[in-house]
Chain A
Amino acid sequence: GENVEQHPSTLSVQEGDSAVIKCTYSDSASNYFPWYKQELGKGPQLIIDIRSNVGEKKDQRIAVTLNKTAKHFSLHITETQPEDSAVYFCAASKSFQKLVFGTGTRLLVSP
């Protein structure tokens, strides 16, 4: 079955810096790759996603890139703010069914 690896497990940046989180997946049939942000005690919140027919997608300060050949996808957050501090999860899915999640990245943005 699908396996998703996520790095780094923790990431500390200064406010205004950029943050990059990387994921790899194993199943070449996966075609949908969402990213979720989870704050303490809350459920995951979808922040951006990308489908396999697209190489890059951007939404304001957040962007995601996908390299299908290498089975890599990454989340890029620019101009980080303290409210970006949370745990971020990548996930992979075939045909928009069950999601297989990475192990999470705890992002800490210091003022």
Chain B
Amino acid sequence: DTGVSQDPRHKITKRGQNVTFRCDPISEHNRLYWYRQTLGQGPEFLTYFQNEAQLEKSRLLSDRFSAERPKGSFSTLEIQRTEQGDSAMYLCASSSKGRDTEAFFGQGTRLTVV
């Protein structure tokens, strides 16, 4: 399977704990995006990388959230001191700059904060 891969698929954590999610984009894609989707809503943009550079961050991305993409390959999204309001599906997408730049999404990581 050469699609976007996210790990884990599901995460249950206690309030106040830190969590980290991983995304492996399609191998030739140099743009990587993180979105958050709550129940019954469309995905909301969080941040995006072109290669290893983080080019834009949404106001939704509070200081408890940090994303990295070392070496321009996989990316991690960390949430510190989780709150119940962080419960959502975290989606990763990738696209290729310079040609048909459709964004392809992974299956997402569903986070539940209890």
Contacts and interface: CB of A to CB of B under 8 A. Distances in A.
B43 interface: yes
Given A42-B107, A46-B104, A97 B48 contact: yes
Contact-size category for B: 20 to 34
Which interface residue of B4, B43, B95 has the most chain A CB atoms within 10 A?
B43
A36 B56 CA distance: 23
Interface in B61-91: 91
Contact-size category for A: 20 to 34
A85 interface: no
Contacts, number: 53
A41 B91 CA distance: 11
B40 A104 contact: yes
B45 A99 contact: yes
A61 B16 CA distance: 48
Contact of B56 (A4, A43, A44, A98): A98
Contact of A44 (B43, B48, B101): B43
A104 B42 contact: yes
A99 B44 CA distance: 8
Interface of A: 4, 6, 32, 34, 36, 41-46, 49, 89, 91, 96-104
